[in-house]
């Protein structure tokens, strides 16, 4: 805690940040599980969601290395955040994700092939089988926070008992868009839950060089919204923090900011090499705290899990992912013109010019190949 720079002056306000946690890295309960998650079967469902997400991530990295997918950002070691978020939501709520929430998409009904389709460059990947009202993946850092505030404003205006959940990384909290979204959510008491996935790194910039704040949660205090920090490697902690925030939002009691503290075990994405800026020993020090291991250890401690069940689960997840891969590459290939089809409902003159120029260039290249 920093020293008081103005001793003797009256204190006009005091604030504190609470941290939520249930299962430590050894799989030991540090407080009783919430009633709805105290049943081992409920915990197994969360565990399955995280294992499926990790299996998909590994496959996507392999496909990217083979040149069959575009740049991909994994959630390796961070699976508790998207699964904790999605499991706390109702289907009628709206998810506004960034690019590490594929696990949340899967939980909410998006197909593996649809996730893969997006990273293969097809807009069909955003026309998914999950809730149609969920927003597509946001690659722009922090910009979608304002979209989330807008969606929450619409819900409030219509008197709907729904809420929005917007997820972004620690770097987004340094963007003006995010502060503006916080401010609107506070002033208008919007039904929105903001979730910061604090994985300690903004690509190659460590958290200490991003901000001087002791926590990221406190950045919501100035906006007058409820704030909380959660152990981001504890899926129960994330679930409960988001659930409480959603209950607050749906009952007209305003917005919540949850900081989920985790660690990015992998590269920022498949175009990055974290060894150039990060000590591997630092990564190794965080491996033991990752979310899947601690849930598995707890399940084993209550005799609800075994090596045989683990093997069966992994085989099932692998089969689901491989089926999605087969479905993706068996699908009819789209025309190059498809990249222009979903930009505007009514194409502008400039978009039409770009489309025509692009298609001419592709046609010329194909003719040159045939001649050559």
pLDDT at 9: 92
pLDDT at 114: 96
Q: How confident is the model at residue 344 (pLDDT cuts 50, 70, 90)?
A: confident
pLDDT in tens, 218-250: 999 999 999 999 999 999 999 999 999 999 999
pLDDT at 122: 87
Helix (H) or strand (E) holding 167: strand 164-169
Which of 359, 362, 370, 313 has its CA nearest to residue 51? 313
pLDDT in tens, 115-157: 999 999 888 888 898 999 999 999 999 999 999 999 999 999 9
Q: How confident is the model at residue 272 (pLDDT cuts 50, 70, 90)?
A: very high
CATH code for the structural domain at 19-334 = 3.40.50.970
CA dist 115 and 52 (Å) reads: 13
Percent of all residues in the chain with a pLDDT value above 90, rounded to a whole number: 88
DSSP for 343-370, please give it. Answer: S-SS--HHHHHHHHHHHHHHHHHHHHHH
Reply yes or no on whether the pLDDT at 346 is more than 80. Answer: yes
Reply yes or no on whether the pLDDT at 372 is more than 80. Answer: no
pTM of the model: 0.93
CA dist 346 and 359 (Å) reads: 19
pLDDT at 102: 97
pLDDT in tens, 64-111: 999 999 999 999 999 999 999 999 999 999 999 999 999 999 999 999
Mean pLDDT of the chain: 95
Q: What is the 3-state secondary structure (H, E, C) of 255-290?
A: CEEEEEECCCCCCCCCCCCHHHCCCHHHHHHHHCCC
pLDDT at 83: 98
pLDDT at 24: 97
Gyration radius of the chain's alpha carbons: 22
So where are the chain's domains?
19-334, 335-372
Q: How confident is the model at residue 1 (pLDDT cuts 50, 70, 90)?
A: low
pLDDT in tens, 21-76: 999 999 999 999 999 999 999 999 999 999 999 999 999 999 999 999 999 999 99
pLDDT at 2: 64
């Amino acid at each position: 805690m920093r020293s008081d720079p103005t001793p003797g002056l009256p204190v006009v306000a005091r604030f504190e940040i609470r941290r939520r946690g249930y299962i430590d890295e050894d799989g030991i309960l540090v407080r009783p599980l919430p009633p709805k998650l105290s049943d081992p079967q409920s915990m197994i469902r969360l565990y399955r969601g995280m294992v499926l997400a990790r299996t998909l991530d590994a496959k996507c990295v392999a496909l990217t290395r083979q040149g069959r997918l575009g740049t991909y950002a994994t959630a390796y070691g961070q699976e508790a955040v998207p699964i904790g978020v999605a499991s706390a939501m109702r289907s009628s709520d709206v998810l506004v994700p960034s690019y590490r929430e594929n696990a949340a998409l899967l939980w909410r009904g998006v197909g593996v092939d649809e996730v893969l389709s997006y990273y293969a460059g097809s807009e069909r990947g955003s026309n998914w089988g999950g809730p149609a009202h969920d927003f597509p993946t946001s690659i722009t850092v922090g910009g979608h926070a304002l979209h989330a505030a807008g969606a929450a404003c619409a819900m409030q205006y219509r008197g709907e008992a729904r809420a929005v959940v917007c997820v972004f990384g620690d770097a987004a909290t340094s963007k003006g868009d995010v502060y503006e979204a916080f401010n609107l959510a506070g002033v208008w008491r919007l039904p929105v839950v903001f979730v910061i996935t604090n994985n300690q790194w903004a690509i190659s910039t460590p958290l200490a060089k991003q901000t001087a704040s002791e926590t990221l949660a406190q950045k919501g205090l100035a906006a007058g919204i409820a704030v909380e920090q959660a152990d981001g490697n504890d899926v129960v902690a994330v679930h409960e923090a988001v659930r409480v925030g959603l209950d607050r939002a749906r009952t007209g009691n305003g917005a919540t900011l949850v900081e989920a503290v985790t660690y990015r075990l992998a590269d920022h994405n498949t175009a990055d090499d974290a060894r150039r800026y990060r000590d591997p020993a630092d990564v190794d020090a965080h491996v033991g705290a990752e979310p899947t291991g601690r849930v598995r250890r707890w399940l084993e401690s209550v005799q609800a899990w075994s090596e045989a069940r683990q093997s069966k689960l992994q085989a099932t997840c692998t089969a689901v992912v491989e089926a999605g891969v087969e479905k993706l590459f068996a699908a009819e290939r789209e025309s190059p013109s498809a990249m222009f089809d979903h930009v505007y409902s009514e194409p502008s003159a400039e978009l039409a010019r770009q489309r025509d120029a692009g298609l001419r260039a592709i046609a010329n290249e194909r003719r040159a190949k045939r001649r050559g």
